[in-house]
Every structure is written in structure tokens, then in C-alpha cells.
Amino acid sequence: MAEFSGTKQRSPFRRRERRSVHRWSVKIPVTIFSVMSLGRRVKQLDEVIAVGLARDISPRGIGLSYDQPMRSQFVIVEFDLFGQGTRQLLTELRWVKHCDEYEFHGGGKFLGVVKEAH
């Protein structure tokens, strides 16, 4: 077993934070669906909707756990904003990890708020 002295060296078990903005740990239920970008509009690719949890969130992006693979790097993340109604955020998935049969983890950058066409 290795020992570590009391010097100011970083512990090899502590990960250095790479992000420039603070993240908040959350557990917010979300629905996620793949979309195709059409300029300033988006179109849902299919009827497959993933359900999951937002694990962490920052002003720039979100960490997700969900149950279905996405067909596009662009997705809509939909959630309830604590009694203020449903919000949809266009998000670009930057990384995805397939953990188990119905378990995917991913992280994405927010691209904008989705407004419904009238």
C-alpha cells in the first residue's frame, strides 16, 4: 500500500476541475430527444424519447444520465422549472458513455432555449 507524505503535492486520487464555470449537483427528471438542425429551427428525428436525470448543471451546460441512445449530437433536454412551466434547451452532446444496457451518461453544451413555432 502506498503512503503519501504531508507535502503540498496533489493527491493522485483528486481530479482537477477542467471547467471554467461552477457546476451544481442536481437530480432533476428530464426527457431528451434527438433533433436535426435546420438553421435556426430544429426538427425531432423520431418518436424515441429518453428519460433520465440531470446530474449536474452550469450556466453553460448539463451532465445527464438517461436510458436510450441518441441518434444525433443535437438534442432537446426538457424539464419542469419548479412550477414555472416546462423548459426546452437545445443542447449539443459533447461526450457520451454507454455504461450498461439502459444506462448512458453524457455531457452537453447549451446552444439556446427552444421556442415553439406558432
Domain boundaries, the chain: 24-113
According to CATH, the topology of domain 24-113 is: Thrombin, subunit H (2.40.10)
What is the 3 state secondary structure string of the chain? CCCCCCCCCCCCCCCCCCCCCCCEEEEEEEEEEEEEEECCEEEECCCCCEEEEEEEECCCEEEEEECCCCCCCEEEEEEECCCCCEEEEEEEEEEEEEEECCEEEEEEEEEEECCCCC
| pLDDT value for 39 | 80
pTM value is: 0.78
pLDDT digits (tens, 9 = 90+) for 50-106: 999 999 999 999 999 999 999 999 999 999 988 889 999 999 999 999 999 999 999
Tens-digit pLDDT profile for residues 10-25: 545 555 556 567 889 9
pLDDT at position 61 is 96
